[in-house]
Chains A and B, each alone.
Chain A
């Protein structure tokens, strides 16, 4: 009981911080693949008078990554024209050139507008279709989810931070007298803080293991039965064993900074 009481007050805020970190890692991994899917599924349409190469497009905007020319005959096929072949050939020759352009990333709506404006500067380009409304709705939804999650993570980190500051005050109250006495008798900084370091390291290990356990359970029970495709498609991204080491490292860094600040602030009377 005494062990739990002594340790829970640090383990709790540490878990809050580590949960925030792990959520960030998982979110980053899953949304990265989702973002790539959105990027791959998007292309803008450009109509030009004369033929244009990828370098011609890039000379107007560097976000252009891939250019695919659309065959005029296929466009006419889609239009299902029942004209004579000679007429069709004539019509085809009079058509401008159609291109599908892929970009180098999932750009913001503003950046997409800039690309459009840059391309319009070319006198050779007749028309640009960015499918902005569909792009914008997807982008806004994606941005909103991202923003909500980041806010949640920041909120958790702030709560964790304040709880750790509170715990540092408790540590100062509980350990300052011992550290002062030890200093008077010639103990080194390490010896004076040894008790605190040991306790903090134990708490860091417990917190990292518990946080990893939460995500392991989340991956193996909740995600498997969930209807969320984005999570199901990226189930391996929800928790990886390497995350345990990242969490442990982070927890150790946080507790060591906390211990150091407590120890250096203990002044001899």
Chain B
């Protein structure tokens, strides 16, 4: 199976700061479900950010979807991002847009017709158990509901790779279960690659997964 993400001697850090991830070597294949864990400040989110081009590697190489993330051109980065599904711990919803408009953001960016957008929004909101809340605004929803909107948005364009940063942190059990179910289904049924940064791997997980951990020194290991 082809690699979706390949890191060779990958070193990451912020400007004028010490290295956070040091010489990481790993590959993630199509259809893999990967958990990345590690103590706070170990660089989990930093590593995830580098996968969607929010952070340029300092050295080594990082290939995502066949693109070299070190020399990636703006146009190619936009194209790559339009095929990713990204979930954030703080949801990153657009507060002045309705739930429906938030969910179809990736489709709107790619120029899909209003009909396709409406159909997809209805389907996804049904999956995340938010039917009937299309016209609500994010601030009118609970944290769990907002995160479910975030997950629906990530799935809107059937991405080849879902990147999730603490998607269930601070959420109630119901919302957490809905989110894990959706990610399991995307991986299992659609062969989507899913990379989740989390503090805790869920107790019950129904599909095979890989587990990477980052230690305090910034080294990345596969433990499972």
Chain A residues within CB distance 8 Å of chain B:
177-178, 180-182, 184-188, 191, 268-269
Contact = CB atoms under 8 A, between A and B. Distances in A.
Nearest to A181: B92
14 contacts: A178-B94, A182-B94, A185-B84, A185-B105, A185-B106, A185-B153, A186-B77, A186-B78, A186-B82, A186-B83, A186-B84, A186-B106, A187-B78, A188-B78
B79 interface: yes
A186 B75 CA distance: 9
Interface in B104-122: 105-106, 109-110
Q: Which 8 residue pairs spanning A and B have beta carbons closest together?
A: A186-B82, A186-B81, A186-B78, A187-B109, A178-B94, A181-B92, A185-B106, A181-B94
Given A191-B109, A268-B54, A185 B82 contact: yes
A187 B81 CA distance: 9
Interface residues of B, number: 22
Contacts of B93: 181
Given A177-B94, A187-B78, A182 B105 contact: yes
A186 to B, nearest CB: 3
A185 B86 contact: yes
Contacts of A269: 54
Given A191-B109, A268-B54, A184 B94 contact: no
A28 to B, nearest CB: 44
Interface string B51-94: 01010000000000000000000000111111110100000111
Given A191-B109, A268-B54, A185 B94 contact: no
Contacts of A268: 54
Given A181-B105, A268-B54, A186 B79 contact: yes
Contacts of B54: 184, 268-269
A221 B62 CA distance: 71
B163 to A, nearest CB: 10
Contact of B81 (A177, A178, A184, A191): A184
Nearest to B95: A177
B15 interface: no
B18 interface: no
B94 A186 contact: no
Contacts of B105: 181-182, 185
B17 interface: no
Given A177-B92, A184-B52, A186-B83, 4 more contacts: A177-B94, A181-B93, A186-B79, A186-B82
Contacts of B110: 186
B135 interface: no
A185 B81 contact: yes
Contacts of B109: 182, 185-187, 191
A178 B106 CA distance: 13
Contacts of B82: 185-186
A180 B105 CA distance: 13
B96 interface: yes
Contacts of A184: 52, 54, 81, 86, 92
B107 to A, nearest CB: 10
A194 to B, nearest CB: 10
Nearest to B111: A191
A192 B76 CA distance: 17
B4 to A, nearest CB: 17
A120 to B, nearest CB: 70
Nearest to B54: A268
B27 to A, nearest CB: 24
Contact of B80 (A180, A181, A186, A188): A186
Contacts of A188: 78
B92 A178 contact: no
Nearest to B105: A185
Instruction: Choose among A178, A181, A186 the residue with the greatest number of B CB atoms under 10 Å from its CB.
Output: A186
Contacts of A186: 77-84, 106, 109-110
Contacts of B95: 177
Interface string B30-58: 00000000000000000000001010000
Nearest to B153: A185
Interface string B127-156: 000000000000000000000000001000
